[in-house]
Amino acid sequence: MIVRCVKIIRPGTSTVVSEHPGMRIGEEYPVLEVFAARPRVLFRLPDRSARRDEIDSPGLWDADMFEIVSDRMPTCWVTALDDGRLTLAPQEWQRSGFWDDFFDHLPDAVAEYDRLKAQIIAES
């Protein structure tokens, strides 16, 4: 699934802003994960500002910022429903503590992220 940014909403708020260092209006992004919890839908997108020698820091962005360019769904996505929250993402990323392990730079989690991110982007 590929989306195009049509406006920027500051993360964690409902404030529309003209620019943000992690997002560009008109730019297209592969969606790595969809997370829906009333009243919001969020897309996890790769960090395009990371240098090659840095670990990607994928962020969650308000789905209202985007239009869908390609609705092709990655084959590795599965659905999960937990306490009223719906997630579409690789099953490996849906285990409890995965994102904590990833952002703590644990090698297994980083490798799993890199492998599945590459698959998602290849299938976009």
Give the domain ranges of the chain: 2-123
Strand order in the sheet with 85-90: 59-62, 40-45, 33-37, 85-90, 77-82
For residue 38, the tally of other CB atoms under 10 A from its CB is 8
Q: Whole-structure pTM over 0.95, yes or no?
A: no
Sign of CA dihedral 39, 58, 78, 8: positive
Q: pLDDT tens, 58-112? A: 999 999 999 999 999 999 999 999 899 999 999 999 999 999 999 999 999 999 9
Check: CB of residue 4 under 8 Å from CB of residue 69.
yes
Q: pLDDT tens, 31-53? A: 999 999 988 999 999 987 655 55
> pLDDT at position 53, please?
56
